[in-house]
Amino acid sequence: MTAWLWLLATLAAAIGGYLLGWPAWQQYRSRESRDLNADRYLAWRGRASRPMERPHEGMTREERRRIYVGIGLAVVAVFCLVGFFTYR
């Protein structure tokens, strides 16, 4: 395998990891932000439940899976980058 193929594999894995993981992370963060804003609005209106009663939903199974696959592809990208620099 030539050095350029290592570099190409690095780029493909990094781009794939980004395209899989980043949108899932953004969905999670925007949902958490919306929930917090809704709680603030209800508190302002005087109709909020107590803070401890609000369950924390966390990530969905699909978001968690996509983030884990993105992290896995990032690890592959680092491995390929090391292969690129150590290839003779």
Query: What is the chain written as a DSSP string?
Result: --HHHHHHHHHHHHHHHHHHHHHHHHHHHHHHHHHHHHHHHHHHHT-PPPGGGS------HHHHHHHHHHHHHHHHHHHHHHHHHH--
Arithmetic mean of pLDDT over the chain: 85
pTM of the model: 0.75
pLDDT for position 49:
66
pLDDT for position 50:
63
pLDDT for position 8:
96
What token pair was written down for 87?
């290839």
Q: Which is higher by pLDDT, 15 or 60?
A: 15
User: Mind listing the pLDDT tens digit for each residue in 31-65?
Assistant: 877 766 666 677 777 776 666 555 667 788 999 99
* Domain extent listing, the chain: 3-47+59-86
> What span, in angstroms and rounded, lies between the C-alpha atoms of 37 and 40?
5
